Structure 1
Amino acid sequence: MAGYHTRWVRPEPQADDPERIAIREALVFGKALYDRRTALGLTVAELAQRAGMTVDEIECIEEGGTAPTVALLRLLAAALDADVRLTSGHDLGSLWFEAHAA
């Protein structure tokens, strides 16, 4: 808030910047991948081998450095024996990998 002598003025709400949305989506993607991988007890190297990717690529995703694409989500879901779940929004919990039904 900015102050103008005797009163406080709330700033106008800013529309979400597309760059900020992309950053949040990459972070959500990385957390979802990390959560599912650790739930399965897999190392980064084991997941990389299952997905046909390198350890560096998996680490980059988990650190929030890779934007999720449909093809990448499908590839990783198959490697994690899971389905991809999405909800509206770009915050934590809006993307996760869910184990296949038994």
Structure 2
Amino acid sequence: MNDTAALVRSWRRQRGLSQARLAELAGTGQAAISRIESGRDLPTLMLLERIASALDCDLTVTFAPLSGPTPPSC
């Protein structure tokens, strides 16, 4: 399981939602939520935004170097 999978599952459970209900609120299918939560599928940014909204969460995307030199700033 990856971080995205664990976070989606954790937040869904904290909100007391079934996978089917979260899927309905996010405009996708229950199978998609299941694949995301199991780590078999990574959602698109658009779907992740809809899931975050359905879970009443903020979505923040950060680009940061894992190691090595830092690229020049824009």
Q: Same fold (TM over 0.5)?
A: yes
Percent identity of the aligned residues?
Answer: 34
Gaps of 5+ in 1: 1-25, 91-102
TM-score, normalising length from structure 1? Answer: 0.55
Question: Which runs of at least 4 in structure 1 moved beyond 3 Å after TM superposition?
Answer: 85-90
Q: CA RMSD in A?
A: 2.2
Is the aligned partner of 1:66 residue 2:41? yes
TM-score, normalising length from structure 2? Answer: 0.73
Q: Find the structure with the greater CA-based Rg.
A: 1
Gaps of 5+ in 2: 67-74
- Judging changes above 3 Å, is the alpha-carbon distance between structure 1 residues 89 and 79 closer, same or farther for their aligned structure 2 residues? farther
Alpha-carbon distance in 1 for matches of 2:18, 2:55: 12
Q: What's 1:30 paired with?
A: 5
| Mapped contact 1:27–1:65 kept (Cα < 8 A) | no
- Counting helix residues as a fraction of each chain, which structure ranks higher? 2
- Counting strand residues as a fraction of each chain, which structure ranks higher? 1
Q: CA deviation at 1:74?
A: 0.8
